[in-house]
Structure 1
Amino acid sequence: MESAIAPHLRCPRSQSPRLPAGYTPPVPAYTARYAPGQTHAVMAYHGVQYHDPADRASAVAGLQTLRKAVHGADAPRFSDLAQYRDPEGWDTLVWTAYWSDRASHQRWQLHPAVQAFWQSDERLNGNTGWFREVACPGVERFETLMSSPDGQEAVARLAEAVSGEILEHAYWGGVRDRLPATQTDALAGSHPARPAQARPGERVFIEGQHNIALIRSGQNWEHTAGAERERYLGDVEPVLREGMAFLASSEGLGAGCLSNRYLRVLDDNFAPTDRSYGLSWWQSLAHMEAWAEKHPTHLKIFGAFMGMLQAIAAPPSLRLYHEVCVLQAGDAHFEYLNCHPGTGLLAID
């Protein structure tokens, strides 16, 4: 069984791990392995929001323009589409793009076609709002986890390989133990500054504070059938949705969750698939851990998943994954154009 931390990222620990002595994981799990020469990854969430269904067509057209703006070496290595409805009733389409290095993303963002679209006054007018939330973590500051060795999603699609079965998972504190940076750094967070008040027709820029944390946690039930599918959709998914709604509320903000979205993945024709993910920005890794370990909403989610696994006889076809990153100051950037004040980090009080 392998360590989740790749050999070239290991170093002597000054921070104690949370791995229990003599621990053996109850189920297998895997992590992405990146080339030793890769130093960073970029995950850029581009969103467009609309309140009236009549504005969906223009939102789709705008997002398609952005998706197709650049071809060649500086285009994203991988991207996907998703949608959700926020607590204020705005539908949002999100195009998430991934790069293996900062330079290619920077060239993409500064490409004349992207600049012409993003800087246009049209983004500040009309019935749609736009945002981009960009994370650029070093490889020592993000980790991935997959329930299946062929279940690469999101940032794991940038990896050159997948590990064998890993040791550090399925216990409280596993996320922290999988992050290479925590070998020597507690990754203590700081309180985020309150952003400028958003008003229609304005751009608002926010820089992420030191050690702001991001998690994307996904579910794929495309291959499920019979009792497993019924159990997931009937018992597990409603509880997951309830927990996601809590994190998106003011109570979630009080728990340290700065923003949460529960998204349904779309295909290239903008039709829903049997895949979803939660996307949460947190004040710190410690706040994320506290919710996961102690809050009734997450314990209920965990219990529902474990109940499903115990109820089905065969190995599960449901595939799960997540990615977590903890970013240094200057490695997370947020921009909101003509968005309502409850969007993303604009809601921080």
Structure 2
Amino acid sequence: MESAIPLHLKTERTRHKRVPDDYQPPYPSFVARYKPAVSRVVMAYFGVQYRGAAPNAATEALAEIARRFGAASGPSHWDRARYLDQAGYETIISVAYWNDIARFDTWFEPAREAWTGQQREDLGTFIEVLRPTVARHETLFSSPDRPEGVAAIADGMSGEVQEHAYWGGMRDRIPLSQTDAMAPGSAPELIRDGARLRVKAHDNLCLIRSGQDWSDTEASERELYLDDVEPVLREGMDFLRDDGLAIGCYANRYMRVLAVDGSVSEKSYGQSWWKSLAALERWAESHPTHVRIFGAAMKYLSTLGPSARLRLYHEVTVAAADEQFFEYLNCHQKTGMLAAVETTGA
């Protein structure tokens, strides 16, 4: 049994774990392992939004960012997903990951200028970037053989880890939690740069990407997931999208991953921005919407046992203020982190 925290990031704890040292989790889970030389990762969300049928500008923009991803200094991995947001806008997001901050910095500025530096007819564009130290980040996977998201740029997967299957495991897997409460900073601010809107968030902003992959399930298990679990998950995701601000969730997107040819795959993920890790923990531990998600998932897994083919994963980052970048052009006022500044009166 390994610790989720890699040896080179272990330090003497001033803040205790939620479980004793001899805790044995009831089922296996795994985390991504980076090479010790990797000190930071980058997760960059490039989004387009529009109403109705896709305008030509959206098709062109998506093709352009894909070309840029494939260029020198581009990401080591990227994927694309879509969802319909609370204002009725179709949103397509291309998420790219780097494990070399210098390579990202070389690549980013011309890509940013091309993405949010020009007006496009009937189209909004936005960029949301975190570039955390690896000490501010954790992952968790139900299976070690199919990395998703940021784990796709890791060196590999761990063996079975101890810090999971209990409330507080998410925090315990973040190396910084050994010594830091990761409390949030002051309220987000809006910065206007011509037509561009930038959000200056705050210290210890939290991002979660939490995914589901049912592509390996067969008929009975697929029916069980799609009929009994997914609707409960969607209800919780819709709550966070529409009413999450009151509990510290600035924005939530429940995405369907797109295949290379643009078709909808049998993968989804929720992606949300939170005021703090503590706010995310409170929702997970006690809010009725997540209690129902957890209950449906546990019933599903207990029914199927080890034969379950559903794959689950997540990545969680608690980012310092200088590790964040949010920029929006022609987007509605509740897009992403714009919703956070709207509530603060900016």
Q: Same fold (TM over 0.5)?
A: yes
- Separation (CA, whole Å) in 2 of partners of 1:53 and 1:133: 24
Query: Which residue is 2:339 aligned to?
Result: 347
Rate the CA distance shift 1:116–1:6 in 2: closer, same or farther, 3 A: closer
Equivalent position to 1:248, from 234, 237, 241: 241
C-alpha RMSD of matched pairs (Å): 1.7
Q: Give the superposition deviation at 1:178.
A: 0.3
Query: Which residue is 1:202 aligned to?
Result: 195
Rate the CA distance shift 1:120–1:4 in 2: closer, same or farther, 3 A: closer
Q: Which amino acid aligns with 1:169?
A: H
Q: Residues 207 and 330 of structure 1 are in contact (CA less than 8 Å); yes or no, is this contact kept in structure 2?
A: no
Structure 1 residues 99-123: Cα deviation after superposition (integer angstroms, max 9, x where no partner): 0022111111124xx2552354334
Rate the CA distance shift 1:131–1:119 in 2: closer, same or farther, 3 A: closer
Q: Give the superposition deviation at 1:192.
A: 2.4
Matched ranges for 1:67-146 at <5 A: 67-69=66-68, 71-111=70-110, 114=111, 117-118=114-115, 120-123=117-120, 126-146=121-141
Q: Secondary structure at the match of 2:139?
A: strand
Q: Residues 191 and 283 of structure 1 are in contact (CA less than 8 Å); yes or no, is this contact kept in structure 2?
A: no
Equivalent position to 1:325, from 317, 326, 332: 317
Q: Give the superposition deviation at 1:318.
A: 0.4
- Separation (CA, whole Å) in 2 of partners of 1:75 and 1:134: 15
Quick check: 1:297 aligned with 2:297? no
Matched ranges for 1:53-64 at <5 A: 53-55=53-55, 57-64=56-63
Q: Give the superposition deviation at 1:185.
A: 0.5
Query: Which residue is 1:275 aligned to?
Result: 267
Q: Residues 33 and 159 of structure 1 are in contact (CA less than 8 Å); yes or no, is this contact kept in structure 2?
A: yes
Structure 1 residues 101-152: Cα deviation after superposition (integer angstroms, max 9, x where no partner): 22111111124xx2552354334xx211000100001010000000001121
Quick check: 1:153 aligned with 2:186? no
Q: Secondary structure at the match of 1:23?
A: coil
- Separation (CA, whole Å) in 2 of partners of 1:142 and 1:50: 32
Scaled by the length of structure 2, the TM-score of the pair is: 0.95
Query: Which residue is 1:230 aligned to?
Result: 223
Q: Give the superposition deviation at 1:337.
A: 0.5
Equivalent position to 2:170, from 172, 175, 199: 175
Q: Give the superposition deviation at 1:71.
A: 4.0
- Separation (CA, whole Å) in 2 of partners of 1:181 and 1:120: 36
Q: Residues 189 and 199 of structure 2 are in contact (CA less than 8 Å); yes or no, is this contact kept in structure 1?
A: no
Rate the CA distance shift 1:53–1:119 in 2: closer, same or farther, 3 A: closer
Q: Give the superposition deviation at 1:266.
A: 0.1
- Separation (CA, whole Å) in 1 of partners of 2:76 and 2:264: 22
Q: Give the superposition deviation at 1:226.
A: 2.3
Q: Which amino acid aligns with 1:168?
A: E
Q: Give the superposition deviation at 1:52.
A: 2.0
Q: Give the superposition deviation at 1:303.
A: 0.4
Q: What percent identity do the matched residue pairs reach? A: 48
- Separation (CA, whole Å) in 2 of partners of 1:20 and 1:212: 28
Q: Residues 232 and 292 of structure 2 are in contact (CA less than 8 Å); yes or no, is this contact kept in structure 1?
A: yes
Q: Secondary structure at the match of 2:81?
A: strand
Q: Which amino acid aligns with 2:129?
A: V
Query: Which residue is 1:30 aligned to?
Result: 30
Q: Which amino acid aligns with 2:31?
A: T
Moved more, 64-73 or 223-232: 64-73
Structure 1 gap segments, 5+ residues each: none
- Separation (CA, whole Å) in 2 of partners of 1:240 and 1:91: 20
Structure 2 gap segments, 5+ residues each: none
Query: Which residue is 1:309 aligned to?
Result: 301
Equivalent position to 2:182, from 174, 177, 187: 187
Structure 1 residues 168-211: Cα deviation after superposition (integer angstroms, max 9, x where no partner): 0010000010000010101011242243689xx82101123100
Q: Residues 208 and 330 of structure 1 are in contact (CA less than 8 Å); yes or no, is this contact kept in structure 2?
A: no
- Separation (CA, whole Å) in 2 of partners of 1:70 and 1:230: 36
Scaled by the length of structure 1, the TM-score of the pair is: 0.94
Q: Which amino acid aligns with 1:23?
A: Y
Moved more, 279-288 or 13-22: 13-22
- Separation (CA, whole Å) in 1 of partners of 2:58 and 2:275: 30
